[in-house]
Amino acid sequence: MGKKPTIKQENQTLHGISILSSLLLEYIEDLGPTTTNENRKKFEMHLSEVEKVCEIIVDSSAVKEIKSSTYIQDMTNRLDTIIRKNFRDI
């Protein structure tokens, strides 16, 4: 059993989950309707709920500067850029 995370560590983890959820939702939407199936719809629905919960937690976090800012979207965009710039066909 590990140590209890600090508030900072907990906030960083929740921010990461929120950013990754947001990016995953964007990627799913980018796939378009041709790849729609029942599993994708379920995944998208559950992921949307995770993102909503994370946003509520992030908004009430100790980092007040994040409230009503574009922090999550900015971080999502940065992560997307890193993925695109480092992508290599294998």
| Digit-coded pLDDT (tens) for 27-78 | 887 877 666 677 777 888 888 887 777 777 666 665 555 555 687 788 889 9
Note whether residue 1 is domain-resident: no
- Hunting for tokens 């983890």 — which residue is that? 13
* Domain range enclosing 15: 7-81
How many domains is the chain partitioned into structurally?
1
- Hunting for tokens 């140590």 — which residue is that? 3
Note whether residue 12 is domain-resident: yes
Distance CA 7, CA 64 (A): 14
Average pLDDT of the residues in 81-90: 85
Q: Give the three-state DSSP class for 90.
A: coil
Note whether residue 22 is domain-resident: yes
pLDDT class for 19, splitting at 50, 70, 90? confident
* pLDDT for the residue numbered 45: 82
How far from 40 is each of 10, 33, 36, CA to CA, in Å? 29, 10, 6
81 has pLDDT over 90: yes
Note whether residue 89 is domain-resident: no
Note whether residue 90 is domain-resident: no
* Assigned token pair, 23: 């990016």
pTM of the model: 0.67
Note whether residue 88 is domain-resident: no
* pLDDT for the residue numbered 60: 66
